[in-house]
């Protein structure tokens, strides 16, 4: 693995010196704000300025707004480590950030500016970002990470499907959002399968050398990724088929088996680690719930979906953002009380969101509590990490690997 190149000293704004800085900060800010906005739309407390239905807008912005920005922050920071090339900084990074912001504004006010204008403004960011990542990976001959281009292309296509629905071309918004969710989940399965056991092994070697190391990547891991991919493909393309629940159960069980090989129980005293295991566990639980519900719909359809979104995506994004923000700004890799509170809040948000449809007359209060916990988690990230992300590194040593 190549060393991370030095960041340019000529970049005036520290916030634009690395991709994770603006994108992690903005993705967390949007995650904290978008949920209260959606709740106001959903409960009829505010006029809806978007041309999408409140639910479609909500899912779109969580996936192609918040989720895509988190992916951008991660990849723009990780790719220099993979390729040895200079990171995207300064003005070019600012253009990407502005395109993402323009997309969020356009989607929020699409009823006023028109669905066509909103589509152009919103799709500009994923198109440009795909081009940037393709250039870096191909120029760096980093063939191992070519699947990242496929994932970004799928996110772009899923986003396009939502816009085609808004334009009246095809009834494809739900399929597009489902494709976006599935792509983020596959990235969690793929990238999480690298970083969770790696970080766990490094910590165990220092703190608990008597504990066996996590199992190395082998044929079992390849089989797990294949089963998860099959489950997600079935969920996207044929969610009501007889194949889908079997594939989803197989994928969920495979995740549980894989997670059990990573010694997560030995990391309970280190929040930066157990939250990664927890996030990966949400992926397994969500797939299992999808499968069980496919055989016998005992739970509301949204229960499994929110285990995968609020649970897996919400937890893993915060786990990665906090760890990367600490390491790459030169801070110690230690979760203080504030960061631990972030993890507790996102876990509470996911649990409440799963239980809300089962609350009967308490549905709306539980939904509001879940939204408050979610916004609290991401809002607290903004409060705690805005200053480190906006300031230069506190050390001159090389950043921690992503």
Question: Which of 245, 147, 116, 232 has its CA nearest to residue 182?
Answer: 232
| Mean pLDDT value across the chain | 93
The predicted structure's pLDDT at residue 300? 87
pLDDT of residue 372 exceeding 70: yes
What average pLDDT score do residues 391-399 get?
68
Provide the pLDDT confidence category of residue 395 given band limits of 50, 70 and 90: low
Phi, psi (degrees; rounded to nearest 5) at 49: -85, -5
Q: Inform me whether the pLDDT recorded for 153 exceeds 80.
A: yes
pLDDT tier at 361 (50, 70, 90 boundaries)? confident
Return the percent helix, strand and coil in the chain, to nearest 5.
75, 0, 25
Tell me the per-residue pLDDT of 58-71, one tens digit each, with 9 for 90 and over.
999 999 999 999 99
**What would the pLDDT profile of 197-235 be if each residue is shown by its tens digit?**
999 999 999 989 888 999 999 999 999 999 999 999 999
Per cent of the chain over pLDDT 70 is 95
Question: Which residues are CB-contacts of 204 (< 8 A; sequence separation ≥ 6)?
Answer: 211, 213, 214, 263, 266, 267
Residue 270: per-residue pLDDT: 94
CA distance 120 to 38: 23
pTM greater than 0.85: yes
pLDDT at 166 over 90: yes
Taking only Cα atoms into account, the Rg of the chain, rounded to an integer number of angstroms, comes to: 20
Q: Output the pLDDT for position 397.
A: 43
Burial of 171 (0-12, 13-18, 19+ CB in 10 A): exposed
How many Å apart are CA 104 and CA 91, to the nearest integer? 20
8 or 147: which carries more pLDDT confidence? 147
Residue 137 confidence (pLDDT):
93
E strand map for 126-280: none
Q: What is the DSSP string of 257-275?
A: HHHHTTTGGGGTT-HHHHH
3-state secondary structure 75-136: HHHHHHHHHCCCCCCHHHHHHHHHHHHHHHHHHHCHHHHCHHHHHHHHHHHHHHHHHHHHHH
Q: Which pLDDT belongs to residue 301? A: 84
Give 94-139 pLDDT, tens digit per residue: 999 999 999 999 999 999 999 999 999 999 999 999 999 999 999 9
Rounded-to-integer distance, Cα 104 and Cα 112, Å: 14
- What distances in angstroms separate CA 170 from CA 117, 158, 160, 387, one per listed residue? 17, 13, 11, 44
Lookup result for tokens 């991401």: 378
Given a cut of 60, is residue 399 above it in pLDDT? no
Question: Torsion angle, CA of 119/125/128/129, rounded to 10 degrees?
Answer: -140
CA 399 to chain centre: 22
Residue range 314-355, pLDDT digits in tens: 999 999 999 999 999 999 999 999 999 999 999 999 999 999
Q: Is a pLDDT exceeding 50 seen at residue 4?
A: no
**How is the chain split into domains, by residue range?**
14-390
pLDDT at 32: 98
Residues 6+ apart with CB under 8 A from 380: 338, 341, 342, 345
Architecture of domain 14-390 in this structure: Up-down Bundle (1.20)
Task: Give the other-Cβ count within 10 Å of 95's Cβ.
Answer: 15
The encoded tokens of residue 55 equal: 């639910």
Alpha carbons 128 and 133: distance in angstroms, whole number: 9
User: Shortest CA distance to 242 belongs to which of 295, 190, 195, 205?
Assistant: 295
Asked if residues 149 and 156 have their Cβ atoms less than 8 Å apart, the reply is no
CA angle centred on 50, ends 74 and 362, rounded to 5°: 85
pLDDT band at 1 (very low <50, low <70, confident <90, very high): very low
Mean pLDDT of 245-273: 95
- pLDDT band at residue 11 under the 50/70/90 scheme: low
Alpha-carbon span 151 to 40, nearest angstrom:
32
pLDDT of residue 298 exceeding 90: no
């Amino acid at each position: 693995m190549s060393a991370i190149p030095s960041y340019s000293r000529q970049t005036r704004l520290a916030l634009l010196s690395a991709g994770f800085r603006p994108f992690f900060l903005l993705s967390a800010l949007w995650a904290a704000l978008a949920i209260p906005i959606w709740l106001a739309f959903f409960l009829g407390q505010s006029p809806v300025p978007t041309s999408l239905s409140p639910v479609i807008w909500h899912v779109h912005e969580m996936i192609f707004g918040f989720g895509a920005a988190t992916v951008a922050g991660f990849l723009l920071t990780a790719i220099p480590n993979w390729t040895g090339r200079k990171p995207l900084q300064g003005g070019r990074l600012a253009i990407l950030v502005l395109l993402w912001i323009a997309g969020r504004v356009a989607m929020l006010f699409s009823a006023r500016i028109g669905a066509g204008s909103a589509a152009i403004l919103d799709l500009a960011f994923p198109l440009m970002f795909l081009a940037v990542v393709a250039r870096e990976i191909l120029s760096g001959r980093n063939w191992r990470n070519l699947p990242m281009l496929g994932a970004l292309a799928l996110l772009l296509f899923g986003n396009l499907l939502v816009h085609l629905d808004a334009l009246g071309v095809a009834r494809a918004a739900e399929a597009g959002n489902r494709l976006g969710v599935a792509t983020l989940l596959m990235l969690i399965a793929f990238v999480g399968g690298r970083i969770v056991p790696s970080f766990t092994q490094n910590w165990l070697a220092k703190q608990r050398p008597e504990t066996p190391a996590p199992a190395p990547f082998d044929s079992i891991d390849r089989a797990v990724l294949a089963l998860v991919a099959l489950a997600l493909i079935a969920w996207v393309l044929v969610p009501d088929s007889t194949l889908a629940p079997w594939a989803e159960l197989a994928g969920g069980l495979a995740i549980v088996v894989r997670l059990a090989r990573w010694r997560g129980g030995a990391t309970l005293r280190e929040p930066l680690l157990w939250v990664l295991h927890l996030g990966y566990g949400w992926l397994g639980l969500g797939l299992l719930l999808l499968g069980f519900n496919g055989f016998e719909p005992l739970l509301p359809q949204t229960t499994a979906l929110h285990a995968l979104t609020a649970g897996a995506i919400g937890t893993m994004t915060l786990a990665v953002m906090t760890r990367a923000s600490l390491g790459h700004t030169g801070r110690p890799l230690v979760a203080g009380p504030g960061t631990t509170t972030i993890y507790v809040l996102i876990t509470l948000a996911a649990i409440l969101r799963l239980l809300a449809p089962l609350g009967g007359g308490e549905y709306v209060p539980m939904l509001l509590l879940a939204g408050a916990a979610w916004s609290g988690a991401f809002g607290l990230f903004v409060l705690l990490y805005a200053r480190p992300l906006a300031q230069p590194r506190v050390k001159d040593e090389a950043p921690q690997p992503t």
